[in-house]
Amino acid sequence: MGLFNYFVKDIGIDLGTANSLVYIKERGIVINEPSIAATNNKTGQILAIGDEAKKMLGRTPAHITVIKPLVNGVISDFEMAQEMLRYFLKRVNNDRMFSYYRAVIGIPPNLTEVERKSVEDAAINAGAAKAFLVEEPVAAALGARLPIQEAMATMVVDIGGGTTDIAIISMGSSVISRSLKVAGDKLNDDIIKFVREEFKLMIGEPTAEELKKTIGSAIPTEERMEFAVRGRDMGTGLPREVIVKNTQVRAAIGRSLRQIVECIKETIEKAPPELVGDIYDRGIYLCGGGSLLRGIDQLIAKEVTVPVTVIDDPLTAVVRGTGVIAENIEAHAQLFVTSLKPLDINI
């Protein structure tokens, strides 16, 4: 069995719209890179994946395309998603002659059968022998060591790059779940649109992301913050710099944050009364990159009138959960999303 374990490795994957993370059994998180690839249109060659590709975003000549293989939590470019996964699996292979990977992959709730099958096929074509799918809020709750197997409500809100995934979990499964296509990328788009309309200045996604992280907030703050933004003047076409205030960024993203709050309320409204009582006592748990926005926990707590807690290390909560499952796949088989074909967890 020892020799067999040398060749067999179970892995957990958080295949996110913004970042992809890989957890290897007995080793922990080994990859945390952007879900971005750069290709040469002339030759079809993949030039870079992950961090190196992100550096090229908005800075490439016409024959080089920087691609995000996942949009709103769903694979939009199957071949590129497959190549990205293959690249990550090669990096963690340790030059072994053969590895039999069983991959546990986090996916947004309420994906269609076709969308789930595309994730499964991408992992298998990239080199995994088997792929098991688990809803991201369930994985995040498991990664945060929350008591999801008990007969009480655990409400998780995962604000990622492409989607905000909301689930009320009890007895090891989602009782009710929602997936809203408003998250980090939409907030970036809101900021780009605001700067364009307010200052007549064109900025790229990396600049909008930096603006959001540096001075963005969900609620008013006592501290006044400003950030110098450089871009292309829409009138002259020449470079220009403007100063953006934190109040302006908050105004830009306010509508999208309102949509997230309303979706959380609607999810609670549809839950059984006993579970709503548990949520009142235990509160809501936030994870994902969006939970790092200043004051978003206070905004949700004020609007929903329940305590809100940001999970420790919210960026890695999902992959840590898939890692917990990967450490003992057989013991967590009930957490898997039903696939088109029966899941065989026996080797």
The confidence score (pLDDT) of residue 337 equals 82
**Domains 2-140+316-335 and 147-182+259-314 are alike in CATH topology:** yes
Known binding-site residue numbers for ATP? 17-19, 161-163, 209-212, 289-292
Residue 87: name the closest of 131, 36, 137, 18 by CA.
36
- What is the per-residue pLDDT across 305-328, written as a single tens digit (0 to 9) for each? 999 999 999 999 999 999 999 999
Residue 14: name the closest of 175, 121, 143 by CA.
143
Residue 123 one-letter amino acid: A
Residue 133: name the closest of 105, 173, 110, 108 by CA.
105
Exposure on the CB side of residue 161, measured as CA atoms within 13 A: 20
Structure tokens that stand for 19 in this block: 């970042």
CATH fold of 2-140+316-335 reads Nucleotidyltransferase; domain 5 (3.30.420)
CATH fold of 147-182+259-314 reads Nucleotidyltransferase; domain 5 (3.30.420)
Which SS3 state, helix, strand or coil, does residue 183 take? coil
The sheet with strand 64-67 has its strands ordered as 46-49, 37-40, 64-67
The confidence score (pLDDT) of residue 9 equals 79
The confidence score (pLDDT) of residue 310 equals 96
Architecture of domain 184-252: Alpha-Beta Complex (3.90)
Instruction: Give residue limits of the domains in the chain.
Output: 2-140+316-335, 147-182+259-314, 184-252
- What is the per-residue pLDDT across 106-150, written as a single tens digit (0 to 9) for each? 998 888 889 899 999 999 998 888 999 999 999 999 999 999 999
Residue 24 one-letter amino acid: I
Which stretches in the chain have pLDDT values below 50? Answer: 1, 3-4, 97, 339-347
Residue 279: name the closest of 185, 200, 170, 191 by CA.
170
Angstrom CA distances, 231 to 202, 225, 242, 261, stand at 5, 20, 9, 32
Dist. CA 109–CA 159, nearest whole Å: 13
Known binding-site residue numbers? 17-19, 161-163, 209-212, 289-292
The confidence score (pLDDT) of residue 96 equals 54
The confidence score (pLDDT) of residue 222 equals 87
